[in-house]
Amino acid sequence: MFERFTADARAVVVNAQDEARSLHHDHIGTEHILLTLLADPRGPVARSTGLDADSVRAEVLRRIGGHSPDGPVLSDADAEDAAALKAIGIDLAAVREAIEANFGEGALRLPRPVKKRGLFGRLVPSNGHIPFTNRNKKVLELSLREAIRLKQKFIAPEHIMLGLLREGNGLAALIMADHGIDFDRVRGDMERSLSAPAA
């Protein structure tokens, strides 16, 4: 399937891993694909949806947490837990500062996972590969189906967006729905973009 991907579509897949890594997520979800599709503010996805990568990234951090350039970002559920702890006199920010003051910056970061490999079960550090979620694998499969439906022998970023819309249940779809995005209109925009002659 990946041999059908254009250079731009391959970049979407590769850059989704970079997005997940920069947010310190242990998966590549539909939200990471959406972020890379929005990376070019003049691209067809950003023009059609009116969304920008920075606001979507902030929304992802708000919903599922991660890290920002300023450090850890709590999801809404984590923020509620922090507020509950603060109500009984425990300030997580103060605890974090105290731990880092005593043990060094980054002391709270978890080490990279290790995997068992080899004949004798030696532990070998992970190569940093971040797996795609099953839902995201489905999106990529649906992008191929969209290309076949449109009788096209290639998969472009617009096909990936069509796959996101068709799957319709991931965090990316939820964020778009919450922003009032008209999926049918975006679908039409993507199809028109794919049928337009190259400039």
pLDDT at 130: 81
| 80 & 111 share domain | yes
How would you label 162-191 residue by residue, b for 16+ Cβ within 10 Å and e otherwise? bbbbbbbebbbbebbeeeebeeeebbebbb
pLDDT at 101: 72
| Tokens describing residue 39 | 């990376």
Task: Assess whether pLDDT exceeds 60 at residue 129.
Answer: yes
- Average pLDDT value over all residues in the chain: 77
| 63 & 77 share domain | no
How sure is the predictor about 63, in pLDDT bands with cuts at 50, 70 and 90? confident
| 65 & 120 share domain | no
Q: What is the distance of C-alpha 9 from the center of its chain?
A: 15
Average pLDDT over residues 122-139: 72
Structural domain ending residue among the three candidates 125, 141, 168: 125
φ/ψ bin of 151: left (φ > 0), alpha (ψ from -120 to 50), beta (otherwise): left
| 41 & 139 share domain | yes
Burial class (CB in 10 A: 0-12, 13-18, 19+), 92: middle
Per the listing, tokens 């242990």 go with 26
How sure is the predictor about 136, in pLDDT bands with cuts at 50, 70 and 90? confident
Q: Can you give the pTM of this predicted structure?
A: 0.70
| 140 & 63 share domain | yes
Q: What is the distance of C-alpha 93 from the center of its chain?
A: 27
pLDDT at 166: 92
Domain count, the chain: 2
Q: Which CATH number goes with the domain that contains 142?
A: 1.10.1780.10
| 78 & 61 share domain | no
| Tokens describing residue 44 | 């067809």
| 61 & 138 share domain | yes
Q: What is the pLDDT of residues 66-77, one digit of tens each?
A: 654 444 544 444
136: containing domain? 2-70+131-195
How would you label 107-138 residue by residue, b for 16+ Cβ within 10 Å and e otherwise? eeeeeeeeeeeeeeeeeeeeeeebebbebbeb
| 140 & 59 share domain | yes
| 191 & 135 share domain | yes
Q: What is the pLDDT of residues 12-30, one digit of tens each?
A: 888 898 888 888 888 888 9
**Cβ–Cβ contacts within 10 Å for residue 18, how many?**
14
CA gap 58, 167 in Å, rounded: 23
CA gap 190, 172 in Å, rounded: 16
| 116 & 58 share domain | no
| 59 & 140 share domain | yes
| 58 & 80 share domain | no
